[in-house]
Amino acid sequence: MKKIKLLVAVAIAGLLGLSARAAVSGYDLVTVKGTILSQSTNTSNSKDTVTYFNVAKFKITNKDILKLIAMEYVTNFPSGFPAGAQLAVDYFFNGEFYVLDKNGNILLANAGAPAGADDYSLYFEYGNYVDSGSDTASKETDNYTTIGEFYYEDATDANYFDVFGLTTVKDIYSTKDSESFNMTGLAGNGYISDAEVVVSGTIKGSGKNVDD
């Protein structure tokens, strides 16, 4: 495992805010953006009469999440994933992550499960939900509202983050099935490289796949 720079900027950084990209048939593609706050070293003015309590701020992208996954699967991907690798989920309510190549082919299925007998975990989860929509002979539309969860834990159980937010999911069943989801106002806690962290952000995703 790398030290604070990789874990806090990558693992840590590997956290929230996702926005959709071009859909690949069979999966919801997600793009990660997020913010993690961690207590930093105190400083003082030149006369040592004032002490300043500082907070470090880290941002994260899909590349950071992909690095976290590759760290777990280093035996299979010793150099990380190839350029253009994409982060995806099967569909939101399944919560299972995949890594796809730039053409949408599967590089790693069930990417949130541990590679061996360790504690690594990465997933979406949800709580109670309500559904509004419509159903006809040719098309069904479901608009779900739930509380979504985004969780990461490394192989040693020493580094993790866990965030929750109001989540909307739209599933359309027709001649062209599709799904989109939006996790807003995500907020939660974590522990990275022996430091307590506070996390926040949003997550969006969309694709051409819906669970029947």
Q: pLDDT tens-digit profile of 191-210?
A: 998 899 999 998 889 887 65
Cα distance between residue 202 and residue 148, in whole Å: 11
Q: pLDDT tens-digit profile of 93-141?
A: 988 999 999 999 999 999 999 999 899 999 999 999 999 999 999 999 9
Specify the pTM. Answer: 0.83
* Nearest by Cα to 180 from 23, 49, 52, 70: 23
Cα distance between residue 200 and residue 15, in whole Å: 8
Answer yes or no: are the C-beta atoms of 25 and 209 closer than 8 Å: yes
Contacts with 161 (C-beta within 8 Å, 6 or more apart), sequence order = 11, 12, 15, 36, 151, 152, 188, 189, 190, 192, 197, 199
Q: pLDDT tens-digit profile of 7-50?
A: 444 444 444 444 444 445 578 998 778 899 999 999 999 888 89
